[in-house]
Amino acid sequence: MQDLEKILENKNVKPTAMRLLVLQLLRNKNAAVSLTDLEDHFIKSDRTTIYRTLKTFVKNEIAHKIVDGTGITKYALCEENCHCEIETDLHVHFHCKICNETICFPKNKIPYIKLPDGYEADNVSLTVTGICDKCNT
Amino acid sequence: MQDLEKILENKNVKPTAMRLLVLQLLRNKNAAVSLTDLEDHFIKSDRTTIYRTLKTFVKNEIAHKIVDGTGITKYALCEENCHCEIETDLHVHFHCKICNETICFPKNKIPYIKLPDGYEADNVSLTVTGICDKCNT
DNA sequence: CACATAAATGCACTTCCGTTGCACTATAAA
DNA sequence: TTTATAGTGCAACGGAAGTGCATTTATGTG
Ligand SMILES: [Mn+2]
Ligand SMILES: [Mn+2]
Ligand SMILES: [Zn+2]
Ligand SMILES: [Zn+2]
């Protein structure tokens, strides 16, 4: 619990109770979580507080936002030394249509995409949908 | 207007007035469109009808659904001879954060992603966000 | 400690999008 | 013409994101 505070302070985020709890949950879970997931888990806390906590985490590069095609925004902790740089830090995500979990594939970096002249990229999202190993056969 | 009917009939979709109009608009527009876009354009038609038209188009492989990170589902016509196969037919999409348009990059096929054992893919989405050529500088 | 200020939280409410149920209408078949 | 089927329109619902404002908690200063 101690180093959780360090993580937040290193990113200039004050370690409030709510933030520590959300951070802890994100770290213990190996799947991406949605705002509703957190709301259901921390039933005593208000949805808005969790919403703003996540927003703060994304802004301060503690967590990253994931678009998995479900229409529901998911969040996962950034890797160590992540700066959310498009060339180096972004990775593939996988969404299982059976168990409905979305997980990070940090080993699978997103390949470079050559865009036509004039186009400028500042973010890339690559999501694979299908069946995960646990749900397969 | 004649060959629009052919397109629908080839996909076993009856060419109703609404379907022909939506198909025509999709073909004349080089950007992906949302349900709301169509609703605003065909103000005399009901939102539900357009919704179901798009659903029919996707099901019958006339159009494909695009996840561009905005949280709003977009649609665009399939390429000629598209069968929405994951290995051959899927391409990159670009979303401009200035003009808010989402366009297809049919030349940029989505590269093969090697998944860990046990994972099975049935869909892939690769979206680049940034500034398009028209909006750049 | 007392007070002033700023940050974080909680509550209520709104808006937007996707979706569904059901009734009505147009089309096609018998 | 009757009957069945497919398409359309209307109304409503539910989930999710987001905002305004009041209240509480933390911080800092004399
Ligand atoms: Mn991730
Ligand atoms: Mn496309
Ligand atoms: Zn699964
Ligand atoms: Zn643009």
At B55-99, the pLDDT tens digits run 999 999 999 999 999 999 999 999 888 888 888 889 999 999 999
Length of chain A: 137
**Could you tell me the domains of chain A?**
2-130 (1.10.10.10)
At A97-109, the pLDDT tens digits run 999 999 999 999 9
The confidence band for B35, taking pLDDT boundaries of 50, 70 and 90, is: very high
Distance between Cα B25 and ligand 4 center (Å): 20
What does the pLDDT average to over A22-29?
Answer: 97
Task: At B29, give phi and psi (nearest 5°).
Answer: -100, 135
The gap between A35 CA and D18 C1' (Å) is 13
The confidence band for B2, taking pLDDT boundaries of 50, 70 and 90, is: low
Handedness of CA B69, B70, B73, B74 (dihedral sign): negative
Nearest CA in chain B to A67: B69
Is the Cβ of A120 closer than 8 Å to some Cβ of chain B?
yes
Is the Cβ of A85 closer than 8 Å to some Cβ of chain B?
no
Q: How far apart are CA B71 and CA B55, in angstroms?
A: 17
> Which of the nucleotides in strand C have any atom less than 7 Å away from a protein CB atom?
7-12, 16-21
Q: Choose the weakest-confidence range: A47-56, A99-108, B12-21, B83-92.
A: B83-92
Inter-axis angle of helices A2-10 and A17-28, nearest 10: 100
Give the minimum alpha-carbon distance from B68 to chain A in angstroms, rounded to a whole number. 9
Q: How far apart are CA B137 and CA B134, in angstroms?
A: 8
End-to-end CA distance of chain A, in Å?
Answer: 38
Q: What pTM, to 2 d.p., does this model score?
A: 0.93
Q: How far apart are CA A26 and CA A8, in angstroms?
A: 13
B8: tokens are 């629908």
**Minimum-distance residue to D10 (CA–C1'):** B46
